Structure 1
């Protein structure tokens, strides 16, 4: 009798482990979107190193694509000039290969999370244009070559255009002007001619930004510089942008002859003091009204949040011919960067899996959308 009880216990444990993150048997996001577009998630270090076993189970079970949340950013890959650290990135890529996933590298050139040495000489003064070009080329070539044929797509340049369509006045821009973007794509293309190359940005539905990005993409393509996709980060809230605004942006980007990637999606249920933003340097004085749901979402807000996700996925499915990938920026609510943005201590509920590593009801509804005509 004891043996039977023990065996039943083992069987129960095995079943519960195998179904972590599932909605019901066989119904997963990965399977539902198999013939439509990749469905992906960002991975943090506990997941890359597989110490967060529950969320790793969800990733393996639910997603067909992965992107590194932080470990492939330049400040981590090359903290000192010429001294590269690949341990975490290597594990990330190996995880993707082992689980047969479409692996995305994020990000090669970005003004933020960049090592301090990148723009300055030994005296702390801005380097010349030629030196900056060489540093860019060395970084991109070293990183992309290491993962040639393994990382399938790269966010080559991240967040270089402002909402009004002007260029962000980053050090890259100040030293090299607009040309730093074509140069980055050229270096990446030379390092791995077969990898997909993307431009990635947030608040990507603003008309001024859309126009400039399209112009930039067309200009590069006319010069023989390959651009395969535009990344729409999709850090959105309950109100902004409207679905019509977002759909128009998808169609407009696709008209430039590139695929659209939804790259960092989450939907915040919390009020935002400026609408929506993904600029991690923004800070806002803490106010209690910015953190109203510390014990969970009220039912009416939960319903509004769920309908918002469904509206977005209806648009993605409607335009699946234009979309290469839809990636969520994280797995569970517990790990989302939105919990501490724009002020420390905020409690948000922006992702598809809850703080107990369980699929929210919306996951089943999103899967159902893929079956509708």
Structure 2
């Protein structure tokens, strides 16, 4: 989706560090697009973009950004009706200024949820809260954010619906409410359901995801895609192909790997995950969950493609070679 510049971009982008020479020999995004996919992206946010080599690496090597925390409900609307747009706007402005696509993450999630939402005790009040939040957030970024994780981590490991304020008061209805509100807010956005531990075919959560999404889509819920986070450990990369194939069997237009990181970043696992996306037609792109190991939420696991000194790892270089770049 082509995006237009945001008026406030110039003063925000001017605050960033100077651009430095590329830290890797080739762009992983460009190579992935040349191989027929849509994007190879990365999670980031304002604080990261304003220090060290994060911005330079993303500018040179990645084609899409996901807000790591800035667009979550607790970050945006901790007090009902009062929004803190600063960090999310910064990310959106920076992405537009630098020609990067944006993934919105996330509208409805049981975690990082404001207390005022968690404490709602009436079903109709919760319905209105969901509709208002989705309409407000997506309305602000309409035409700028091309993918949205509308609901996030809503399943248990056995594939049943997770207990949350949403499921307790509304059952499965909250999924329909959220997706219908999202479609109304931005008819052109691609709407996703996103979850973790969707990394092995015929696992309970994978089975449940395919079954529920099939039921919801057939009932008219406008779900366009399934996101598999893919936070995995060594040796698990080979399982991703089968899981992606199973997820792609649901009646959705696309699937994506949305939060990839792999403990100790083994070459064979990273290349297996990339190959899985290449081989599954519906897989549109991959997002890694951060640039450098030093900033990873998995401290000590060293799971990303750039090390703590912002040097590209063997896994990054192996993917570039794999893609023929």
**Aligned residue in 1 for 2:257:** 262
**Aligned residue in 1 for 2:196:** 202
> Which residue, 346, 351, 363 being the options, matches 2:304?
351
Supply the distance in 2 between the matched residues of 1:362 and 1:219 (Cα, whole angstroms): 38
> Which residue, 206, 211, 217 being the options, matches 2:213?
217
Q: 1:225 Cα shift?
A: 2.3
Supply the distance in 1 between the matched residues of 2:237 and 2:77 (Cα, whole angstroms): 39
After superposition, the C-alpha distances for 1:140-170 in whole angstroms (9 at most, x for unaligned) are 1100011011111100000011111111111
**Aligned residue in 2 for 1:116:** 115
TM-score normalised by the chain length of structure 2: 0.89
Secondary structure of 2:197's aligned partner = coil
Q: 1:135 Cα shift?
A: 0.5
> Which residue, 19, 22, 29 being the options, matches 1:20?
22
Give the aligned length: 303
Supply the distance in 2 between the matched residues of 1:242 and 1:71 (Cα, whole angstroms): 29
| Aligned partners of 1:161 and 1:201 also within 8 Å | yes
Supply the distance in 1 between the matched residues of 2:22 and 2:309 (Cα, whole angstroms): 10
**Aligned residue in 2 for 1:190:** 184
Supply the distance in 1 between the matched residues of 2:135 and 2:21 (Cα, whole angstroms): 41
Tell me whether 1:365 sits opposite 2:318 in the alignment.
yes
**Aligned residue in 2 for 1:180:** 174
> Which residue, 311, 334, 348 being the options, matches 2:272?
311
Supply the distance in 1 between the matched residues of 2:102 and 2:50 (Cα, whole angstroms): 20
Secondary structure of 1:231's aligned partner = strand
Who wins on radius of gyration, i.e. which is larger? 1
Aligned pairs for 1:1-373 (under 5 A) are 18-23=20-25, 27-35=26-34, 36-37=36-37, 38-47=39-48, 50-120=49-119, 126-205=120-199, 207-239=203-235, 241=236, 243=238, 245-258=239-252, 259-269=254-264, 305-319=266-280, 321-339=281-299, 347-371=300-324
After superposition, the C-alpha distances for 1:311-354 in whole angstroms (9 at most, x for unaligned) are 222222222x2211100000000000000xxxxxxx22110001
Supply the distance in 1 between the matched residues of 2:78 and 2:131 (Cα, whole angstroms): 16
Supply the distance in 2 between the matched residues of 1:326 and 1:58 (Cα, whole angstroms): 16
Q: Runs in 1 of length 4+ with deviation above 4 angstroms?
A: none
Supply the distance in 1 between the matched residues of 2:219 and 2:100 (Cα, whole angstroms): 32
Structure 1 residues 42 and 57: CA distance shift in structure 2, 3 A: same
Structure 2 portions without partners, runs of 5+: 1-17
Supply the distance in 1 between the matched residues of 2:283 and 2:108 (Cα, whole angstroms): 23
Q: 1:66 Cα shift?
A: 0.6
Supply the distance in 1 between the matched residues of 2:209 and 2:321 (Cα, whole angstroms): 34
| Aligned partners of 2:31 and 2:323 also within 8 Å | yes
Supply the distance in 2 between the matched residues of 1:365 and 1:17 (Cα, whole angstroms): 25
Q: 1:18 Cα shift?
A: 4.1
After superposition, the C-alpha distances for 1:236-271 in whole angstroms (9 at most, x for unaligned) are 0013x462x3222111111113211100000013xx
Q: 1:45 Cα shift?
A: 2.8
TM-score normalised by the chain length of structure 1: 0.78
